[in-house]
Amino acid sequence: MKPYLSTLGNLALLFCFTADSAAAQAVRMKNEPNTPLQIESFIPEFQESGKRISGTLLAVRNTGKVPCVAFAVYIRLKFTDGKVSRITIAEDRAALGIKGETSGIAPGEHITNTGQGGVTSPSGASIESAEAYIDYVEMEDGTVFGPDEGKFRTRFSMLRATRQHERKRLEKIYREKGFNELLKEIQRP
């Protein structure tokens, strides 16, 4: 695949030509200027003559003043038959929801995320375009950004509450029964 990159304001276009096809896919990264997490690069892996996307390489940078503790990026795929599909890359760096126990993306820090899993059009159509955009961003101070189409604020909150409850349960076992009982509990199917 030979990529050609073109930028226009907050939209970058990358045209990818697959090795076994003359078809080209337009790849876009859409950033909102008021969101402190910005997509720096988005490289999808096209296969089967551009009919399948099997994974992505996504790089984001925190341009804000506080650490970013969670984000979700959607990749909207448009096929030549007019159908649209979506891939989600979501990352929660405040998994236990406890202040001070995060490994958030520091201000100015750049991270790379490799998305796995493939999408193919059921009709066998080729991918016409792929657009990556940020759906949800949560900062360590509690501020949130993005349309949150996927309801990630609720999802992350529920997952953190569950994890925090389990952590407290395991800490209680350790305090009351010791390390060996904790180990047995963790290894229990």
Separation of alpha carbons 152 and 138, rounded Å:
10
pLDDT of residue 186: 87
pLDDT, tens digit, 9 for 90 and up, residues 5-50: 333 334 444 444 344 444 457 888 899 889 999 999 988 888 887 8
Name the pTM for this structure. Answer: 0.76
Which residues lie below 8 Å from residue 163, measured CB to CB, with a gap of 6+?
95, 96, 97
Does residue 37 sit in helix, strand or coil?
strand
> What is the per-residue pLDDT for 20?
41
Rounded to the nearest integer, the mean pLDDT of the chain is 82
Report d(CA 121, CA 143) in Å as an integer.
37
**Distance from C-alpha of 124 to C-alpha of 160, rounded to nearest angstrom:** 39
Q: Dihedrals φ, ψ of 74, to 5°?
A: -100, 145
Phi, psi (deg, nearest 5) at residue 168: -65, -40
Do the Cβ atoms of 30 and 9 come closer than 8 Å? no
> pLDDT digit string (tens) for 106-151?
999 999 987 766 788 778 888 898 999 999 999 999 999 999 999 9
Range in 50-54, 73-77, 78-82 with the lowest mean pLDDT? 50-54
CATH topology of domain 2-147: Immunoglobulin-like (2.60.40)
